[in-house]
Structure 1
Amino acid sequence: MPMAIEDLRQELTGLLGDRGLLTEWTQRRTYESDGLTGYRIVPALVALPEDVQQVVGVVRACARHGVPLVPRGAGTGLSGGALPHADGVLIALSRMRRIVEVDAANQRITVEPGVTNAQVSRAVAEHDLYYAPDPSSQVVCSIGGNVAENSGGAHCLKYGFTTHHVLACEVVLPDGEVVELGGPTLDAPGYDLRGVFVGSEGTLGIVTKVSLRLLRRPDAVRTLVADFPSPSAAGDAVSANIAAGIVPAAVEMMDNLAIQACEADAHAGFTLDAGAALIVELDGPAAECDAAFADVTRLCNENGATSIRIAGDASDRDLIWKGRKAAFAAMGRLSPDYFVQDGVIPRTRLGECLARIDEMAVEAGLRVANVFHAGDGNLHPLVLYTAADPEQAERAETLSRQIAELCVSFGGSLSGEHGIGADKACSMPTMFTADDLAVMDRVRAAFDPHGRCNPDKVFPTPRLCGERPGPYRPHPLESAGVIERM
């Protein structure tokens, strides 16, 4: 163990105790990746602070010893944003899970970063309030991680992303200073430093407390599943609905491969031979909701829907969403490993882009399942592969990167809600000029002049892009259970 890490270990043991600092390799290996398991690095140390004072102590100790640090929430991120640094400290915030205050009168809640997304809505349900952003991993993903990645979810089409619902953040900067960004209202006076911080992927500091905006439960909710012969036909239905001025709460699409996996996992009643399924949900005043729902049904039929299933009640609606939100986990039924992308394209080019992705998959000899937020063109193509086959793993990583860059070529972006992380950092020059990246790096340096906070993420660097580790490949003896990776 390097001298700086050994000295830091002793200091952090005094601060956190044995229970708050993981030093054994088997314990540290638990944190070697986030939800993107294709990239794995075991951190030198794992700190588990329980309050903001301990976070400050860990950050200041890292600064004194010149050691990099990586913040981590629940580890459900899908871009390698919480990938550890081999010579650094991973700061896991999962023990900071207090609900600090519920202010129902002003429709606000303040929580620590380890509180889960779904827990927020449960905590305010008795006041007929809820928290709108709803990532598929909302049962386990943390608010701190949502802030870092600017997470969205199925209902972001109408209600926006995390940044539209964060009022204020308490943040520990990379030198250990504690600051408050934002205020009690969304449009606080002065520079929007809250907006700069949300979505910064842990590169500007560590969030230790968050104040969130809550919404009233809608009067009515209507949900349908429309089957189509192809994703292209379903994409035409999406465009027709948006062009008609209808703004659903959510519009989700699954292709046949995704339908097969989700139905086997959740038994939600999806049609197994459908080329694509479109889930459309509207909410709001009952009369308005019913009128718009009739228009959605008509437009789906006019654009080739082969069948339409309308949720009969709340339990039926919950089952439909259970099937959709199980999609990423359900892919394990089709393949032991996958890369998931998060590119955004104009809605009007959905069919064209999906057709090109199919062609690229055939050229690479791989399967790609598509499940995504069709309403705002946020694609989630899942490239299926077997990590035990190194050559296949290499092809999968290449195809995944090419799909992300394809979205940029269609006039879109590399990410809608999963972030850039380590996975797409080297693709950033396809979307931004050198001057763009230099300005972003200057903003980062204003918060973290020494570049120790979540290094090697978001921005392309010669070291990162010249020495990318590539997808993790177990040694044959490791796969056979003869050896363990150290």
Structure 2
Amino acid sequence: MALTDLRDKLVADLGRDGVIDDPAHLRTYECDALTGYRVVPALVVLPRDADDVATAVRACAEHGVPFVARGAGTGLSGGALPTADGVVISLQRLRRIIEVDPANRRAVVQPGVTNLDISKAAAAYGLYYAPDPSSQQVCTIGGNVAENSGGAHCLKYGFTANHVLAVDVVLPDGTQTRLGGDAPHQAGFDLLGAFVGSEGTLGVVTAVVVRLLHTPATVRTLAADFDSTETAGAAVTAVIAAGIVPAAIEMMDNLAIEAVNEAVDAGFDPDTAAVLIIELDGPADEVEERFAEVTAVCTAATRVTIARDAEQRARFWRGRKAAFAAVGRLSPNYFVQDGVVPRTRLGEALARIAAMADEAGLRVANVFHAGDGNLHPLVLYSEAAGEHERAEALSSGIAELCVELGGSLSGEHGIGTDKACSMPRMFSTDDLETMQRLRAAFDPAGLCNPGKIFPTPRLCGERPGPYRPHPLESAGVIERL
């Protein structure tokens, strides 16, 4: 009855075209990019502005119905996984760039604006937005704020949290407020810092004030091939130990290179065990001096290819940023992990991951931000062959290995649904209870994106709905739409 009453209220307040309740259309929102877990929501609402978002949240609070904010659905941790008896608040209609302020090097955007579109809007002023997730063409700034996304250039420029000055939010009771402000330092508790990276559990973003940077004067990029991932990892450590801070150091192993070359013809050597993409940017004299040092450090490389122009540099990055999607050419299903290890333990981590994959009888493609030790192992499996549970166990084991090696469960994708059950490996009971108290201060009823981050008996006992193909589908008689 609560859902029926809520639907009627939302239709009255937002219009018939602002509410989706058709079962077929609801399936569009059943998962994010972690497609192994799927839950069909009861309703989806499509607000047009911040007031509509507040109206929807307030209605959910009044009826005691859980809700999940959703951007482009590109998240990889199940952070936007709906609840079966809840509402998805889609922010795709809030996609306006409200202001670009070059004098103060900032922009004000709605949460549905894509990451790359911010830089496109700022380019006319010689500015850009530094965080650049691989999905930046499609991922939205609201989702970046939720997960504190980074990207290839976070080694030098930091994460979303380092580039957000303020957010307008709707709190879980429907109240609208602003966290942060125009001044670089705000008095009082850092509520903005708590909100960025809270994975949508503290409220819904309706506008973001981001910091813009001047476009670098000079950029130099190289691709270095190595005969093993361990040797490549040692080169990463050597670059940082030399006091050099590149804009980016990315690594792909041979399996990832195979997929990328097939997908976008990136030009990487198909026979190399691993490739490092190293990029420096800044003042011309500094870049040239440091770039020579980087090239000298890569003495263990079997080949070093220096990008001769912007086109070749773009080709390198097109390959790296296409990697996740390209791996779909190698396997019908895969999990993407997101653990972090100390740079000095990269080689050890990769060797352990390879051994774990062999033991599980599965393949793992490695694509990651090597400069800050943020691993993105892709565990390949076939749902039809019954490999889901083995792949899920391997994926979780890799995340927990990162903690064992002195790192973290997540570098930028978030905990979400995927790694909630692993949180006790990293945090004590007191730690988790303290985090829950902060969450409860914002959302005492627990309606805002429930079931994420924190382990619960339901999550850790039943796992919320990995897709199981019907026998007729496996036999090729029917297909899933």
TM > 0.5 fold call: yes
Distance 1:444 1:16 in 2: 28
Which residue of the partner structure matches residue 353 of structure 1? 349
Distance 1:483 1:5 in 2: 33
Contact 1:414 1:431 in 2 (8 A): yes
SS in 1 for 2:439: helix
CA drift of 1:186 comes to: 3.5
Distance 2:420 2:479 in 1: 30
SS in 2 for 1:105: helix
Q: After the TM superposition, which parts of structure 1 deviate over 2 Å for at least 4 consecutive aligned residues?
A: 477-486
Which residue of the partner structure matches residue 50 of structure 1? 48
Out of 373, 378, 381, the residue aligned to residue 377 of structure 2 is 381
Alignment RMSD (CA, Å): 1.2
Matched, 1:442 2:437: yes
Cα deviation 1:31-85 (Å, max 9, x = unaligned): 1000000000000001110101100110011011100000001000000000011
CA drift of 1:266 comes to: 1.1
- Describe how 1:20-419 pairs up with structure 2 within 5 A: 20-301=18-299, 304-390=300-386, 392-419=387-414
Contact 2:202 2:442 in 1 (8 A): yes
Contact 1:73 1:145 in 2 (8 A): yes
Distance 1:119 1:479 in 2: 41
SS in 1 for 2:179: strand
Contact 2:39 2:465 in 1 (8 A): no
Cα deviation 1:429-458 (Å, max 9, x = unaligned): 000000000000000000000100000000
Amino acid corresponding to residue 264 of structure 1 in structure 2: E
Identical-pair percentage: 69
Distance change (3 Å), C-alpha of 1:485 and 1:57? farther
Distance 1:145 1:273 in 2: 37
CA drift of 1:480 comes to: 5.4
SS in 2 for 1:464: helix
SS in 1 for 2:167: strand
Distance 1:263 1:134 in 2: 22
Contact 2:39 2:464 in 1 (8 A): no
CA drift of 1:185 comes to: 3.1
Cα deviation 1:142-165 (Å, max 9, x = unaligned): 000000000000000000000000
Contact 2:246 2:280 in 1 (8 A): yes
CA drift of 1:478 comes to: 4.1
Cα deviation 1:388-435 (Å, max 9, x = unaligned): 122x11100000000000000000000000000000000000000000
- Report the TM-score, using the length of structure 2 for normalisation: 0.98
Distance 1:194 1:343 in 2: 24
Distance change (3 Å), C-alpha of 1:31 and 1:470? closer
Distance change (3 Å), C-alpha of 1:60 and 1:480? farther
Distance 1:323 1:127 in 2: 28
Structure 1 unpaired stretches of 5+: none
Structure 2 unpaired stretches of 5+: none
SS in 2 for 1:221: strand
Amino acid corresponding to residue 288 of structure 2 in structure 1: D
- Report the TM-score, using the length of structure 1 for normalisation: 0.97
More off after superposition, 188-197 vs 448-457: 188-197
- Describe how 1:450-465 pairs up with structure 2 within 5 A: 450-465=445-460
Contact 2:32 2:79 in 1 (8 A): yes
Contact 1:224 1:281 in 2 (8 A): yes
What is the aligned residue count?
A: 481
CA drift of 1:323 comes to: 0.2
Which residue of the partner structure matches residue 7 of structure 1? 5
CA drift of 1:479 comes to: 4.6
More off after superposition, 215-224 vs 186-195: 186-195
Distance 1:136 1:425 in 2: 24
Contact 1:166 1:186 in 2 (8 A): no
Distance 1:22 1:485 in 2: 21
Amino acid corresponding to residue 297 of structure 1 in structure 2: T
Which residue of the partner structure matches residue 473 of structure 1? 468
Amino acid corresponding to residue 63 of structure 2 in structure 1: H
SS in 2 for 1:263: helix
Distance 2:157 2:176 in 1: 30
Distance 1:485 1:444 in 2: 38
Distance 2:248 2:368 in 1: 11
